Structure 1
């Protein structure tokens, strides 16, 4: 049985394969899920930023999530990304994810209009009130223009409104602040979304990574995690250096199409 408070390791933020006609490529999705599971990953995220959640219509989002859950077949946990500024829609998306069989939801804050920390608190409290599955905060300020302060996250975590975070800010000082602010909250999971920061984030007390590069080389990312957890830091650092070069090559293209 899935236990959220033990979720750790390498989770892949899956790309969403599409046909030339703009439809969900169901066969491609199955092959991708098989590829990453064969690579040893510990979970998958459907409909994150890499999965183009903000670009897909509701029908396509449902197809992607259903396809990932079916392809995973209970072998690894499946998280579902939600990026909706309208509260009622965000609540409905989390509910739909739960009913589809997702194990948790990764929820971005409301974006487009500026908001303060009080607004962020109110949003997540309202989403959590209706949620039947655990909620992770998605901190990606370069897209949302909203940065959840560690104190805000700690308040939500202490209340039990949210159970984890994926931090994609690429700001290690912020990441460490999150680890410090939530370290005493039992079972709270802290994941980095920066593929180049896995070793550093694990050293700070992070739970693992939810990463895009795992679509291409899942075994590379898993190797870093395994080397670190068995105490072979030099090997983990060497593997991280290798992954860094891959990530820099990917950043030479347009996200997320470069990953595809």
Structure 2
């Protein structure tokens, strides 16, 4: 399979759950419609914002079938095949291929620390045996391995990788990939996407192709306005939109110190979607701590300030 390198806004789609932790497919299709209405360029399901690490395999398949079936080719759909080892990733990739996704996204292996040679072998095996376009997901905070620019560019030059989602927070490393692409991949297309939703304007100015923003679930229109302004060279408008989104993003801290940062952030995303009438329940997967009524009310104040309620 081939997939033209992606660009623009590619939100990592939240996974709405019922109060008993089943996939809420009705809410999921409404969320997909909300994102498509926001003008997004593709969808990334089963990523970190999708709570992929918390979902059993049956839930993963329900998410894939629901989204791919509902989108029906309107935009490309990428599937996270994130797991600890190569064989487990290949099994997720097999299911994703059966469902009909357009590409897959994988991290480096984790649990056991892996050497760069092993990481490269992992990506080569997944690309070869899955037969699907493969995006590397640089997420060192979770997998404890940073994907260096030289490794990424080497795999891109081989045709192993179609693109990179950089959620490392290392803006210098991101720039090294962008510069290296220009110098070493003149005849090969390779997408560079930032997962740093608070610095999208600067990443696009450096030469990134697009963004994979968790906050894009809540405000896809804002991110599409930002990317379109940047594409038109209207950097003051892009900066103003980015700054509005930065202020909105502060709601990810409403959980304070009584819960982990992931619980607070994912809870805030889902609370915002619930308050906006897009999903039925703000349930997050166990064992994450749910937001309480006071914290959800704080999320509502941020939405109102951003003009979203």
Same fold, judged at TM 0.5 (above): yes
Q: Equivalent residues in 2 for 1:1-260 (5 A)? A: 4-183=3-182, 184-185=184-185, 186-253=188-255, 254-260=264-270
Shift of 1:181: 2.2
SS at match of 1:169: coil
Q: Number of matched residues?
A: 259
- Would you say the 8 A contact 1:196–1:244 is kept in 2? yes
CA distance in 2, matches of 1:251, 1:223: 25
Calculate the TM-score normalised by the size of structure 1. 0.96
- SS of 1:137's equivalent? strand
In structure 2, distance between residues paired with 1:36 and 1:28 = 12
Deviation at 1:3, TM superposition (A): 6.6
Uncovered stretches (5+) of structure 1, i.e. residues with no partner: none
Separation (CA, whole Å) in 1 of partners of 2:176 and 2:5: 21
Shift of 1:6: 4.1
Contact 1:9/1:41 (8 A) holds in 2? yes
After superposition, the Cα gap between the structure-2 partners of 1:78 and 1:47, relative to the gap in structure 1 and judged at 3 Å, is: same
SS in 1 for 2:137: strand
* TM-score relative to the length of structure 2: 0.81
Deviation of the 1:5 alpha carbon: 2.8
Q: Distance in 2 between matches of 1:56 and 1:250?
A: 21
Asked whether the equivalents of residues 44 and 79 of structure 2 are also in contact (C-alpha less than 8 Å), the reply is: yes
Q: CA RMSD in A?
A: 1.4
Contact map agreement 1:95 1:132 (CA 8 A) in 2:
no
- Cα distance, 1:251 vs. partner? 4.0
Do the aligned partners of residues 87 and 33 (structure 1) sit closer, same or farther apart at CA in structure 2, a change above 3 Å counting?
same
User: CA offsets, 1:141-186, max 9 Å, x none?
Assistant: 1111110110011111111111101001122111101112223422
Once the two structures are overlaid, the 10-residue window that deviates more, 36-45 or 124-133, is 124-133
Residue ranges of structure 2 left out of the alignment (5+ in a row): 256-263, 271-309
4+ runs deviating over 6 angstroms: none
- 8 Å contact from structure 2 (residues 102, 132) kept in 1: yes
Equivalent-residue separation in structure 1 for 2:266 and 2:115 (angstroms)? 29
Residue by residue over 1:94-148, the C-alpha shift from the partner in whole angstroms, topping out at 9 and shown as x without a partner, is 1211221111101111111111211111111111111221000000111111101
Alignment partner of 2:80: what SS?
Answer: strand
| Displacement of 1:206 | 0.7
